[in-house]
Structure 1
Amino acid sequence: MKLIIFACLAAVALAAPQFLEADTSASIEKDERFDLGDGNFRYAFELSDGTVVEASGTPGEEGGVNIEGSYRYVHPDGDVVEITYVADERGFRPVGDVIPTPHPLPAHAIEQIRFAEERRALGETFE
């Protein structure tokens, strides 16, 4: 019985997907931190593998912290990925080439919107 259990465990272990191990050989090239404790802060990190992270924060109007920042890294396919962002009372707003964007509206939809706005400007209402 023990042999059967051992054989089953060995089969499961061999059948498990072999995950790629992350490259942990990058060293820290830059590490800067500044924090006043009142919502004003700045940090910047840079690794030898090309990863760069920077952010700065200021107190927000509604008691939170407003943050502007960016990060950049080298994708496994060799492309450099860069994201800049703002996080404040209006939410988290990232910008970057890798972020999906909605498809543009088709011409007939744009025409319908224009027509509806034109009619609304003339005082017509839609129910």
Structure 2
Amino acid sequence: MKLFVFAVLVAVAAAQYVPGSDKDAETIKNDFEQAIDNSYRSDVETSNGIIMKSAGESLPGPEPETGTLRVSGSYQYQAPDGQVIQVNWVADEGGYRATSDAIPTGADGNVDAAAPAADPAPASVPDVVEPAAPVLLK
């Protein structure tokens, strides 16, 4: 019995470290640009193939501490089976919406059978984020 317990502990310890795993990943690109109009663009890439891009803008409200934030972007990574997963997303006054072939859908085609389908996210981050009408928060 002690030998079995020891073998299980060795197996668990061996599974903790995999050469070339995410544990050893390094950031190889980390670009961030902040514009004077409070918009930004971010581009990050790691040595294990994770890529994240986003762009956003802050829309001021009529009073301090009011306004809205509109952000969109994408990220991708390689799943353990080797498949490259890409997720496009938008976060704004309408909430967070993500689209991807990797996100399971219900029988009716919605991400969650109880929720309406999300608006499709852009295929890529736009070069210029166009300002929209401000939303008043109360």
Q: Same fold (TM over 0.5)?
A: yes
Amino acid at match of 1:75: A
AA partner of residue 41 (structure 1): Y
CA distance in 1, matches of 2:51, 2:30: 10
User: Would the aligned equivalents of 2:22 and 2:48 in 1 still touch at CA under 8 Å?
Assistant: no
Deviation at 1:88, TM superposition (A): 0.4
Could you tell me how far 1:104 is from its partner in structure 2? Answer: 2.6
Alpha-carbon offset, residue 95 of structure 1:
0.4
Answer yes or no: is 1:80 the counterpart of 2:80: no
Tell me the secondary structure at the aligned position of residue 104 of structure 1: coil
C-alpha displacement at 1:35, in angstroms? 2.2
CA displacement, residues 39-74 of structure 1 (integer Å, 9 cap, x when unaligned): 411111011211100100012477121000000001
> Aligned pairs, how many?
95
Return closer, same or farther for 1:37/1:103 CA change in 2, 3 Å cut-off. Answer: farther
Greater relative CO, 1 or 2 (CA 8 Å, sep 6+): 2
Q: Is the 8 A contact 1:67 1:86 kept in 2?
A: yes
Q: Deviations over 1:3-62 (max 9, x none)?
A: xxxxxxxx7xx66x9364453222222110112476411111011211100100012477
Identity across matched positions, percent: 30
Q: TM-score, normalising length from structure 2?
A: 0.56
The answer to whether structure 1 residue 89 and structure 2 residue 93 are counterparts is yes
Q: What corresponds to 1:41 in structure 2?
A: 40
Higher helix share: 1
Partner of 1:25: 24
1:1-127 alignment runs, 5 A limit: 18=12, 20-21=16-17, 23-36=22-35, 39-60=38-59, 63-104=67-108
Bigger CA radius of gyration: 1
Paired with 1:103 and 1:73, the residues of 2 have a C-alpha distance of: 27
Structure 2 portions without partners, runs of 5+: 110-138
Q: TM-score, structure 1 length as denominator?
A: 0.61
Structure 1 unmatched runs, 5+:
1-10, 106-127
How far apart are residue 102 of structure 1 and its match? 1.9
Q: Distance in 2 between matches of 1:58 and 1:72?
A: 22
